[in-house]
Structure 1
Amino acid sequence: MELTDHPLTEARRYGYVEDGGVWLRPVLGQPARRIGQVKDTDDDALRYFAQRYEAFRTKIDELLQRLQAADNQGSFLMKLLHLQEQTKRHDGLGDYESLHRRLKEAEEQLNVSVARNREKNLATKISLIAQAEALRDTVEWISASETVKDLRQAWLKTGPVDKALTEELETRFHGAVQEFFDRRKAFQSDRKAMARRTVERYRDLVNQAETLKNSDQFEATSRQLKQLQTAWREVNGTLPKKQAAELWTKFRAANNHFFERLKKHIESQRPVEVRPGAAPGSPEESLLRKRELAKRAEALIALPPNQGVTQAKALQAEWKQSGAVRGPESDQLWQRFMLACDKVFEMSALDYYLRKRQAEGAAPLAPAERAQAATTALRKFIESDRQELATLKDNLGKLNSSAANDQFRQLLQGKIRTFERKIQTKTELIALFQLPITG
């Protein structure tokens, strides 16, 4: 049985030898054309060009396999078109009609896939544009900058869309991104200008404090410096940590310098009462010391709250060591001393309350507004104290009169006296805040 020479059979099907040349039969609308010459035998020449065709077909097979496995199939379009043109010019013997048809079918499938992908790309790009345009009002610059960075990366990774839409989409997206960067730049410029104004305001307050720190007008200057301290808190500016610390150190030093001088002035104004025969440790000497302590306590209201509290506690310790005295004046001095100390403590609590409200975002207050806010707060505190006082009195009234309740009765009576004093203290502070501001 004779074996079939398949390559030679296929070659003779699509080509022939004539006048020493190898010819390809008409194919793909092209006339027959000479593709080579016979060097040895006719059959060898036909087999050679059949092998060229097979190599070309293998190349196409490999390309189509890669196309099917590819994620970005659109990149294969030009290769398919190029190979389609090559099927009309390639020098080989084989079924070029079949190869061309396969390439054409692959092109059509690819066009469908590309169209589908471009629709997806269009939807993605419209979403990216919407996200970029949504940043037009944001002031969260750090997080928004990261978002813009991510959007730009996503835009670059997104494939093409229909050419008729490309320019419009590119203009909208890059326009929205550029608008964000322009706004950020303007904000940064405004922030720098604001920082300069903040520094200038802090420096002005430092200069005012340093001008006042050696003043001998203690009462007026004390109020002026307190107003400067309020103004300092109202600036509420954000500066680099080192710069802020330097300005605050200068401002605080000027204030501390004055109030140390005020403290010494108060010490120097203590009444020196020398009475013949007032022996150390005697009731007369104790009474003199208590008078002095009451006056010193009443002067503490002029100090900043934190300093006043510290000195009030020190005076309370001195009072305990001042000795026991009996009589109406002793009771009056005790009431004066405790009321003065209570004012200092209540003023400190009030200052903390107002500063906490400021930290929670309330608008900065002018001195007159701060005085009004303090008055309103004190009235609210008085109302709370009165409710507590009413409850204590009600509990005392309900208490059984048996001796077993004596200790608890004394406790309630002490608390009642404390709340009565609190109400009196706050009432006097309200009167103090309602005095006209001068200086």
Structure 2
Amino acid sequence: MSSDRWGRVDEAGTVYVRTADGEKVVGSWQAGSPDEALAYFERKYDGLVVEISLLEKRVKTTDLSTKDANTAIAHLREQVDAHHAVGDLDALRERLDKLARTIEERREERKAHKAKQTEEAHKAKEDLVAEAEQLAQSEQWRVAGERLRALVDIWKGLPRLDRKTDDELWHRFSHARSAFSKRRKAHFAQLDAQREEARQRKEKLVAEAESLSGSRDWGPTAAKYRDLMQEWKAAGRAQREHEEDLWSRFRGAQDVFFQARSEVFAERDSEQRENLTRKEELAAEAEKLLPITDLKAARAAFRAINERWDAIGHVPRDSKAKIEGRVHAVERALQEAEEAEWRRSNPEARARAAGLTGQLQDAVDKLREQAEKARAAGNTAKAAKLEQELAGRQALLDQALKGLEEFGG
């Protein structure tokens, strides 16, 4: 007879295992000693421990399905319940029960996770449909088209819903894409028609521009080219394969005209710059007449300068005001000298100036005398008032005397 903590072998060779429900027969052993019998069935127990440990690891570290896991547990439970091993079978049952609970919890977690994924997928597809329906109204053809293609890729990456819901959402999504494609096709068809109309209009503008390129009527033709350019801009763009060629011809015709005009204007500018040099010399000659000491001689010299000036012709526009201003300054000086000479030689004007000077002198003398008497009498207020009036009359007298000097006395 042999025994240990978990089992024993009786005299007849029957092997027992101890459990919480009492001893259970494991089997009989006739091939060897009782100790060998216990060792054999203990190894069978160790084998069950290894299998259960491996199953626990698979459940923990792999995506083992609930069905396969439960099948494996049932198979192991049958072996434990058969009591064909010696060891802590109750502990193995507890481990299998715990593993079964873990599998059930994981099944519920997977179920909840799947439900959440489905809910998220449903919302994601609703959002994709809403965005697609909004994009269907867009006129940002390239951006919206690229976004719709991206939405299709996103849709393909989402889990399927139940067939009815998935089909309904896909129908709305597909309809939005089709509506956008239809609108885009209509837009570009209209755009092609507009570009063809623009091409025909620009062909006419090119022909007109080319017909004007040989004109030498500089001003009106330049204005006409400006009008043609405005019409060109208003015509819109032609098809890409025509636009560049039409523009090249249109611009080339203008270049021919404006190049010819530039050459003529360059020659004219050169002549005007030469005229400016000559007029600057005459202006300097006129300025040498100042200050005027001999009015008659200065007048004759200025007349001769003016005649040569008029014979020279145009100068550059940006220099005209400055050069003419120099000559006009000399001309004004001559006019002022002539006016002064006239005043000196006019006896009536001299008499009027002398009379006015005499009247002012009398008034000044009278006011000065009255002011002196008032101050002597101690009437300072009246004296101050008279002196103020005296200062005003004295200023007028000084001015009149200066004017009288211009008449030579």
TM tier relative to shorter chain: 0.3 to 0.5
Bigger CA radius of gyration = 2
TM-score of the superposed pair, with normalisation by structure 1: 0.45
TM-score of the superposed pair, with normalisation by structure 2: 0.48
